[in-house]
Amino acid sequence: MAQEIKDLIAKIQTEGIQVAQTQAAQIKADAEKDATKIIAEAKARAEKIVEQAKTEAKKADDSTRAALEQAGRDLLISLRQEIIAMLERLIKSDLRQALSPEELAKIIGFLIKNAPLSLGSQIIVSLSQQDKDKLESGMLKQLVEETKKSVVLKSAEGLDSGFIISFDDGKSIFDFSGQALTDYISGSLRPELNKILNAK
């Protein structure tokens, strides 16, 4: 009887150890399976985060590059406008010096003398008040005598140099004002200026 109890205890112990070992093996397998799944999920999450970071970095890089390109274009446009404004100021300044009352009298006299005879007898010349006063003080009489035409001098607001002339009592005009001449000269220089600014 004692032997049977011993055998029964040994059997219970053996079966208990086997059950425990089986359970331990199952727990280990489950743990390994869970660990593999967690690692795979963590790896997938890490890859997704890296991919998102790369996408964000590319967007930021593209955005920065686009902003720099736009800033470069804006700077070039601003520079071009400033150079054109400076060029126009220089042209206006040179025109004021070149179109002295004496030179104006010569140019106006030449235009009147070479105008077709069919034009009206009264010629209207609009000038700045200062140039008008100087021409009226002496050169106008000589101009009328030389051309045998009726010349009327008028002062024009906003006209700082040059003149506007009409051969048909103001119905049509020829604009030789400082602004018109500046626009013409700067317009003819702009293609060359654009070539210089666009050169790389």
DSSP H stretches of helix in the chain = 2-98, 101-113, 129-134, 140-147, 178-198
* Residue labelled with tokens 């425990």: 20
pLDDT under 70: residue ranges of the chain: 1-2, 4-13, 15-16, 19-20, 24, 116-121, 147, 199-200
Question: Tokens representing 168?
Answer: 């048909």
Q: What is the CB neighbour count within 10 angstroms for residue 177?
A: 22
Each residue's pLDDT tens digit, 91-119:
888 888 888 888 888 888 888 877 765 56
Do the Cβ atoms of 88 and 170 come closer than 8 Å? no
What pLDDT score does 70 carry? Answer: 92
What pLDDT score does 20 carry? Answer: 64
What pLDDT score does 10 carry? Answer: 65
Do the Cβ atoms of 123 and 165 come closer than 8 Å? yes
What pLDDT score does 33 carry? Answer: 83
Whole-structure pTM value = 0.58
